[in-house]
Amino acid sequence: MKKNLTQRAIVIAIVTLVALFIIFRPRDAEGNLRRPQASDFTWAGIKGTLQNNIHLGLDLRGGSHLVMQVQVQDYMKRLAENARVGVEKAAKDAGHDVKETRADASGGNYNVVLKLGDASKASEARDEVAKKVDLRDFSPSVSGDTVTWALTGSAQRSLGDQATQQAMKIIDSRINSVGVAEPTLQEHGGQGSHQILLQMPGIQDPERIKKLIIGQSRLELMKVVSPGNPSPMQTYATEEEAKASLGGQVPPNRRVLPYSERDEPTAAGEAPAQPNQPKRWVVVESPAVVDGTELRTADALSRTGNDSDYEINFTLKPSGAEKFGAWTGANVGAYMAVVLNDEVKSAPYIKSQITDSGQITGRYTKQSAEDMALTLRSGALPAKLVYLEERTVGPSLGQDSIRAGVTASAVGLALVVAFMLFYYRGAGVNAVIALILNMILTIAALILFDATLTLPGIAGIILTIGMAVDSNVLIFERIREELQTGKTIASAIEQGFARAFVTIIDTHVTTIVSSLFLFVFGTGPIRGFSVTLILGLVVNLFSAVYVSRTIFIWLLNRRGRRMETLSI
C-alpha cells in the first residue's frame, strides 16, 4: 500500500507539473518557446502567456469568418460549351451534315448534343468525333439522328473538387498578397458541397477583401473586326447595330462586346479623339489570341504620377508570348482589343510585333488598379464564388465574451466548491482538489492538441465542471452506502470506487460517443463545444478516479493515526 501510494503520488506530481508547464511556458511573438524572464511572473506576464498559449477562436479574438461556395455548375456549363465547339468542328471536318449542336445544362446534367442530317451516320460520327476531341469525361449515346455526350457523375464530382481546390489556391494567393495575418483557409461542409471557409483574425471590415476574393479578372486579347490602321476602328453605337453588321446573328467565332472609350488615341500619335465618350460596341474575333492563363506578371503603375491615373502593365509567359508574337507579327496595323471581364478596355493598333508585354489602360485609381493587377496575377477563378456566410466579431465584443465566460466559470466553480465542502466535508476537499486539477488538465490538453477555444467551448468547460463533480458524487454516495452496510472504512472506499467506476465508465463513454459525432460532423460552435467537453471528460477519469483514490489512500495510511471515522 505504501509503495503504491508513493508511485501514485509521483505520477500525479509529474502529470500536474507537465500540465502547468504546458499552460504557463512563455512563447515569443512567433509562437516559439523561449526562456522565461522575470516579467513572465508578473500578473500581466502570465496573462500574456496564457493569451499566446491558448488558441482563441474568432468569436473571442475578433476577426472575420467567411464561407463561400464555388459555383461549380458554371464551370461544368463552360466545359460542356467548350466540348460543343470542339464537337461541332470535328463533325464538320469529318464531312458530316451537322444540323444542330447544343450544350444542355439542366437539373444537374450537362450534355453535348449533336444532331445530324443523316441518322445512319450517327454512330460513325460518334466514333470520329471521339478521336479528335477529348471527351473522356462524357459518356456517349446514340438515338436516331442524335448523338448525346453526357458528363458522367464521377467526372462531375472530380471536376467539382478540382474547381474547388483551384479556387482555394487562388484565394490563398490573393489574401496572402494583401497581407492578412494568420488566415485559415479550408474546405467546408460535406463532400461535394464545394464550400470554402476563410477565417481572418483581426480583420474588422472585410468588404475590400471580399471583393478582392471574388474578383473575376478575366483578361483576353482579341482581334477587332475592323479595317486596319490608318483608318479608324470600326465601332457601333448600339449592340443591335453591331449585330446587324454580322447579319443579325452572332456566329460562334465572333463576339459583340461593349467598348468604353476613354482617352485612348484611335490612331498613332493622335490626341484622344473623343475622350470619355459614351459606351460603344465592337465586334471581335473569338476565341482570344491569348487569355489570362498566359499571364506572367501584372502590375499597377501610374502613368502620370497622378493618383487617379493608374494603368496595369502585364507580361506574358513564354508560351503565351510565342503565340502573341506570331499573331502580332502577322497582324501589324490591325486593332487589338484588350478585354477585361467581357468589356473592351482599350483597342490600340499594332504598330509592330509585340511579344510579351502590354498595358490595360483606363482611369483606374491606385487601389482599384492594384486590386485588379492582383486578381490578374493570381489567375482566374475556375468559376464564380458566392458568399454564403459572413461573421465578423469586433475585438471589444470578443473581450466582453471572454470576460462573461470567465465570470460565469468562476461563479459556477465557486458554487460547486461551496456545495461540495458543505455536503461532503472532508471528502469535499478531496473533490475540490480533483476538480481544480481537472480544469488545469483540460486547459493543458486544449493547448497540447492545439484546439481552438471558442465561446461555446467556454460553455463546454463550465459544463465539465458540473460533470466532473458528478464522478466524485457517484463515488462518495457509494462510499456512504457501503459504510452504512457496516463495512470498514478501507473496504468501503475500495468498494465505493470499484462499484462507481463501472458507472463512471458507462456515463463517460456515452457522452464521449455523442460528442465525437458532434466533433466529426459538426462545424463552428457545435465543434468548439464538443472539443472541450471530450477533453474534459477524458481528463476527468484521471482526476476524479485516480487522484481522489490516491488522496483516500493517503488518508488511510497517515503515520501514527488510525482512521476511525471518515469525513464524508
Partner 1 sequence: MVRLFHKVNFDWLANRRIFIIVSILLMLAGTGSAVFRYARGQAPFNLGVDFKGGTLITAKFKQRPSAEDVRAALQHAGVHDAIIQPVSSKPDEVLIKLPRLGSEESAQDEAQVDVGRTKVAEALKSFGAQVAADQDFAAEGNSFKIVGTDAVGAVAGAALRNQAVAVTLLALVGILVFISVRFEWTYGAAAVIAVFHDVLVTLGMFSVFYWEINLTVIAALLTLVGFSVNDTIVTFDRVRENLRLHRRESLYKITNDSINQTLSRTIITSGLVFLSVVAMVLFGGEVLRPFSLALVIGIVFGTYSSIAIASPIMVWWQQRVERQTPRPAPARQARATDGGAGGERKHSQRTSAPSDVPAATCLRRFG
Residues 365-394 that bind partner 1 (CB under 8 A): 384-394
Peptide bond preceding 230 in cis form (omega within 30 of 0): yes
Residue 63, CA atoms < 13 Å, CB-side half-sphere? 19
What the block records as the C-alpha cell of 365 is 485609381
Out of 130, 416, 490, 541, point to the residue binding partner 1 (CB under 8 A): 416
CB of 538 to partner 1, least distance (A): 14
CA 133/CA 136 separation, integer angstroms: 9
**Cα separations (Å) of 306 from 301, 365, 366, 467?**
10, 9, 9, 66
What the block records as the C-alpha cell of 319 is 508560351
What the block records as the C-alpha cell of 400 is 466582453
In the region spanning residues 58 to 97, those forming contacts with partner 1, defined by CB under 8 A, are 59, 62, 67, 69, 71
Asked if 541 is part of the footprint of partner 1 (rule: CB under 8 A), the reply reads: no
Q: Which is nearer to partner 1, 348 or 398 (CB)?
A: 398
Q: Which is nearer to partner 1, 214 or 246 (CB)?
A: 214
Instruction: Choose the stretch contacting partner 1; rule: CB under 8 A; options: 84-92, 278-286, 329-337, 466-474.
Output: 466-474
Asked if 407 is part of the footprint of partner 1 (rule: CB under 8 A), the reply reads: yes
In the region spanning residues 166 to 195, those forming contacts with partner 1, defined by CB under 8 A, are 189, 193
Out of 191, 304, 352, 396, point to the residue binding partner 1 (CB under 8 A): 396
In the region spanning residues 480 to 509, those forming contacts with partner 1, defined by CB under 8 A, are 480-481, 499, 502-503, 506-507, 509
CB of 442 to partner 1, least distance (A): 14
Instruction: Choose the stretch contacting partner 1; rule: CB under 8 A; options: 175-183, 361-369, 375-383, 512-520.
Output: 512-520
CA 293/CA 290 separation, integer angstroms: 8
Asked if 467 is part of the footprint of partner 1 (rule: CB under 8 A), the reply reads: yes
Number of residues near partner 1 (by CB under 8 A) = 83
> Pick from 53, 72, 143, 142: which is nearest to 110 by CA?
72
Asked if 433 is part of the footprint of partner 1 (rule: CB under 8 A), the reply reads: no
CA 511/CA 526 separation, integer angstroms: 14
Query: Contact, 81 vs 100, CB < 8 A?
Result: no
Asked if 415 is part of the footprint of partner 1 (rule: CB under 8 A), the reply reads: yes
Asked if 13 is part of the footprint of partner 1 (rule: CB under 8 A), the reply reads: no
CA 148/CA 102 separation, integer angstroms: 10
CB of 293 to partner 1, least distance (A): 23
Out of 151, 170, 533, 547, point to the residue binding partner 1 (CB under 8 A): 533
Q: Which is nearer to partner 1, 295 or 455 (CB)?
A: 455
Q: In terms of DSSP bridges, do strands 452-453 and 55-56 run parallel, antiparallel, or are they unpaired? A: parallel
Asked if 469 is part of the footprint of partner 1 (rule: CB under 8 A), the reply reads: yes
Out of 207, 251, 253, 485, point to the residue binding partner 1 (CB under 8 A): 207
From the CB of residue 325, how many other CB atoms can be counted at a distance below 10 Å?
15
Q: Which is nearer to partner 1, 71 or 550 (CB)?
A: 71
- Angle subtended by helix axes 455-484 and 395-448, to nearest 10: 50
Asked if 134 is part of the footprint of partner 1 (rule: CB under 8 A), the reply reads: no
The interface mask with partner 1, positions 137-166, x = CB under 8 A, is: ------------------------------
Asked if 544 is part of the footprint of partner 1 (rule: CB under 8 A), the reply reads: no
Q: Which is nearer to partner 1, 195 or 229 (CB)?
A: 195
Asked if 529 is part of the footprint of partner 1 (rule: CB under 8 A), the reply reads: yes
Give the chain's largest Cα–Cα span.
115
**Cα separations (Å) of 521 from 334, 445, 456, 527?**
59, 21, 16, 8
CB of 469 to partner 1, least distance (A): 5
Instruction: Choose the stretch contacting partner 1; rule: CB under 8 A; options: 10-18, 284-292, 526-534, 538-546.
Output: 526-534
CA 171/CA 379 separation, integer angstroms: 10
Asked if 539 is part of the footprint of partner 1 (rule: CB under 8 A), the reply reads: no
Secondary structure in 3-state letters for 21-46: HHHHCCECCCCCECCCCHHHHCHHHH
For 140, phi then psi, to 5°, come to: -85, 150
* Residue whose grid cell is 476613354: 262
Query: Contact, 137 vs 162, CB < 8 A?
Result: no
CB of 48 to partner 1, least distance (A): 19
Handedness of CA 417, 423, 426, 427 (dihedral sign): negative
Asked if 304 is part of the footprint of partner 1 (rule: CB under 8 A), the reply reads: no
